[in-house]
Amino acid sequence: MMGMIRVSEVMSRNPIRAKATMTAEEGAMLMKTKGISSLLIEQDGEVVGIVTERDIVTKVAANGIAAGERKLSEIMSTPLIHVEADSPLETAAELMWKKRIRRLPVVAGDKIVGILTENDIVRISPGLIEITRGILTNTGQGIVKGIHGICDSCNEFSDNLIYTAGKYYCERCFSEVSRM
């Protein structure tokens, strides 16, 4: 059995902040420059939300809206769902799956001290993703796509697992299975 790992041991420290008044375009540039995929959104010196790459793609680009015309405050997720730095990693993994999010700000006292991504968890403990999948099997009828985790066939991590007939497949294995 795995010993308890705390969120603080796995998280990335000093997450990058951006002002709420920044445009989605500026936010996307900042992420690219820093090589990160999310920004904490700051208003009057306080972190009030989070914007991920995905928010920019789904809420701006996919709707044909010019990224220069949307402020980060308009597309951020708020209130901020977060986890305590001394929580067990299991708790964070469960929260991510329940809320369907891939990044979790980490809080110590009243300060945001880091950010935990699903990839951080997979890197440290791939098994955790397996455990938390139980939540999804209850809802699954037919084919569900876009799940992150380990393929039941080749055991490789995939960003886009396909769940069908009680098993999870990566796209490659799914196309093999569905051909049979």
What is the contact surface with Zn ion in residues (CB under 5 A)? 151, 153-154, 170, 173
Tell me how far apart the alpha carbons of residues 63 and 57 are, in angstroms, rounded to a whole number. Answer: 9
Token pair in block for residue 104: 């979790």
Closer residue to Zn ion in complex, CB, 75/162: 162
Closer residue to Zn ion in complex, CB, 66/154: 154
Residue 149 CB, nearest approach to Zn ion (Å):
11
Closer residue to Zn ion in complex, CB, 153/164: 153
Closer residue to Zn ion in complex, CB, 30/144: 144
| Contact between residue 89 and residue 10 where contact means Cβ atoms under 8 Å apart | yes
- Closest to 95 (Cα-Cα) out of 108, 109, 110, 80: 80
First to last CA, the chain: 37
Residue 167 CB, nearest approach to Zn ion (Å):
10
Closer residue to Zn ion in complex, CB, 12/153: 153
Residue 68 CB, nearest approach to Zn ion (Å):
40
Tell me how far apart the alpha carbons of residues 150 and 96 are, in angstroms, rounded to a whole number. Answer: 16
Residue 152 CB, nearest approach to Zn ion (Å):
8
Using the CB atoms, write b or e for 14-29: b if 16+ within 10 Å: ebeebebebbbbbbbe
Residue 158 CB, nearest approach to Zn ion (Å):
7
